[in-house]
Structure 1
C-alpha cells in the first residue's frame, strides 16, 4: 500500500533496510509483508548486494508501483556492508532491518514504534517475537519468545535472545554513537553475528524493550551462508573477543556459556542438514568449552542420539520433521488464515511460551546481579590498588 501522507505527516519515519543477494525466490513476498504494514510512515531501501539472478528486476518492478520503495545497488560486499549502505542512504528516525527471505506480520512496525515511544530516549532497541518458517512458508512449530528488557548487556553476552536481524527496530541516534554493522567480519572469514555484535554495542549505552507478540516470520534456510559453520564460529569468537576487551568485568564463565550455547546451535543446524559427523564435532567443541550447561540441555542428547544413530545405520538423514503438523502460510502476509495459524501455534504451545519467558527472565535477573556484583568487586580492587600506590617524591616534598 501507498503510505497515507496525512496520517504519516506527524509520525516518526521508519527506514526499512533489506539487504538482498540472489533473493529472487523470496524478495517479492518479503516486500509484500513490508508494504502491508499498518504503520504508514515508512521508506523501503532494498540493497542489491551484487545479485546474479532476477532480484533487482523484481524490486525495480515493485518500486515503479510504490514510490517509497527504492533499489540501491552495490558490488558483492556482504550483508553488513549492504545494511550499512542502506542506513547511509536512509532518512528515518528509526531503522528496521529485515532479511530478504523473512516476513513481517502487519502490525509489527506500528507496535514496535509505539513501544519505542513509550520507552523514551533511553530505549535503543525494540524487538518482537518470532515464528519459524520453512523454505515453502510453512510454520514449523519453532518460535522465540523472550521478554528480556532494560539493561540487557550481560544477558545478551550469554545468548542472543532476539534471535535474528529481522526482529528489531533500532533508534538511529544509537548508530551515530556506537557505529553500524561491522563489515570487517567478512574480510576476516567471519560472518553470521553482525547483528548480535551491533546489539551488544547498543546495549552498552541503551535499554532494550520487547513487544510480546509473534510479529516476525523467520525463514529457516539450509545450505546457505547460515550453515557455513566455521565462518559463523569465527564470527562469534571475534565478537566475544571485542566485547571482553571493552568490558573485562563480565565473568569469564559467561563468555564460555555463550560459546557453548552457540556451538550447540551449530551442532543442531548441522544435524538438521544431515551433516552428522559435523554435528558430533560441534557437540564435542561445546563440551570442551563448558561441559556443565551442555550436559543439562536436552537438545545435546537429542542431537547426539540422532547423529550416532544415523552414522551407525549408514542411512541418509532427512530433515527433522516438525513436532506439530505445519500450517500453510498464505502468500498474502495480512491474510486471516495466517493470523489463525499463529493463533493455533500460540494456543498449542502456550505453556512452552510461558516457560521460555519465565526462564529467560530468571536468567536475565541472575546474570544482571552477577555482573553488578563482579563490577563492584573490580571497582573495589581498583580503589585499593590506587590507595596502595606509594607516594611520589613530589608528593613527599
Structure 2
C-alpha cells in the first residue's frame, strides 16, 4: 500500500453500496506512481457486499477501512477519513470514479511548485447513457465557481492543512458539496492552482445525490451562488461579468425548478 517517496497523499473514498465499482476505484489509486500512498475507504452503512469487499482489500494491505454511523452521508465520511489521513495532500475519490495515470504525482507537484492549497483539475465525464465529454477548469476562479467550472471532487487535490483549517466538509450541504468547500477555501484566501491535463474519469451514478432529489439540488445550487455573489459584492470584487454569469446560471436553475415543482420563483 505504501510507496516510499517524497510526495505523501491520502486517498479518501466514501462508500455506500459501491460493490460494483469500489475495487476499480481502489485499483486506480494503487496504480498511482511516485507517491507515498495511503488509501482510506469509509463505509457509510452499506447494505450490499461493499463491507466484505473492503474487508478483503484491507486484509491484503491495499487499504485502511473504517465504518461510520448510518445516514451521515458522503461529507461526513470524507471528514472521518480526513481525521486519520497522514498525507500532506488529500485526494477525495468517489467510489464510482477513477483516477487516471500519474494524477497524484502531477497535481502534487503543481501544488508544491505554486505553494497552492488546492487544485481544480480537468476530467472526463461519462453520463448515464454512456456518452463522454471533457471538462476543463476556468482560470478565473470566481467565474469558475459560479459556473461550476472548477473541477469535481475526484478531479481535484487538496492540501490537508487548508482543509483542517476550515473544519473539513460541511455535513449540512447535501449537494454542490465540493463547490461549497471551494467557496470557503477561496473566501479564506487559500490559493488555487489549475491542472488542464485530464486526471479523473467521473461516472454518473443513478443513485447519487446529483441524480436524485433534483428539486432540492436546484435550490441549493442557487442558494450557494447567491452567497458567492453577496460575498463578492461585500468585498468589492463583484464585476458585471460575474453578475451576468450569475443571472444566466440562476435562470437555467430556475427553469429546472419550475419544471420540477410549483414552488414560487426565486428572484436572482
> TM tier, shorter chain?
0.7 to 0.9
Report whether the alignment pairs 1:281 with 2:259: yes
> Could you say which structure has the larger radius of gyration?
1
Residues in 1 aligned to 2:80 and 2:166: alpha-carbon distance in whole angstroms? 16
Residue 148 of structure 1 and its aligned partner are, at CA, apart by 1.2
Could you say which structure has the higher helix fraction? Answer: 1
Check whether the contact 2:219–2:257 (CA below 8 A) recurs between aligned residues.
no
What corresponds to 1:161 in structure 2?
A: 149
What corresponds to 1:213 in structure 2?
A: 197
Equivalent residue for 1:236, pick from 205, 212, 221: 221
Residues in 1 aligned to 2:254 and 2:94: alpha-carbon distance in whole angstroms? 20
What corresponds to 2:132 in structure 1?
A: 141
After TM superposition, the score normalised by the length of structure 2 is 0.85
Q: Deviations over 1:149-200 (max 9, x none)?
A: 6xx2x22442121232111110112123333111023xxxxx2111101111
What corresponds to 1:73 in structure 2?
A: 67
Matches within 5 A, 1:338-349: none
Report whether the alignment pairs 1:261 with 2:261: no
* Aligned residue pair count: 261
Residues in 1 aligned to 2:149 and 2:109: alpha-carbon distance in whole angstroms? 21
Residue 206 of structure 1 and its aligned partner are, at CA, apart by 2.1
Residues in 1 aligned to 2:254 and 2:208: alpha-carbon distance in whole angstroms? 13
Residues in 2 aligned to 1:108 and 1:266: alpha-carbon distance in whole angstroms? 36
- Cα separation, partners in 2 of 1:44 and 1:90, compared to 1, 3 Å: same
After TM superposition, the score normalised by the length of structure 1 is 0.59
Could you say which structure has the higher strand fraction? Answer: 2
Residues in 2 aligned to 1:163 and 1:265: alpha-carbon distance in whole angstroms? 19
Q: Deviations over 1:267-311 (max 9, x none)?
A: 7xxxxxxxxxx68727x99x9867xxxxxxxxxxxxxxxxxxxxx
What corresponds to 2:99 in structure 1?
A: 104
Check whether the contact 1:256–1:289 (CA below 8 A) recurs between aligned residues.
no
For structure 2, list consecutive stretches of 5 or more residues without a partner in the other structure.
none
What corresponds to 1:17 in structure 2?
A: 12
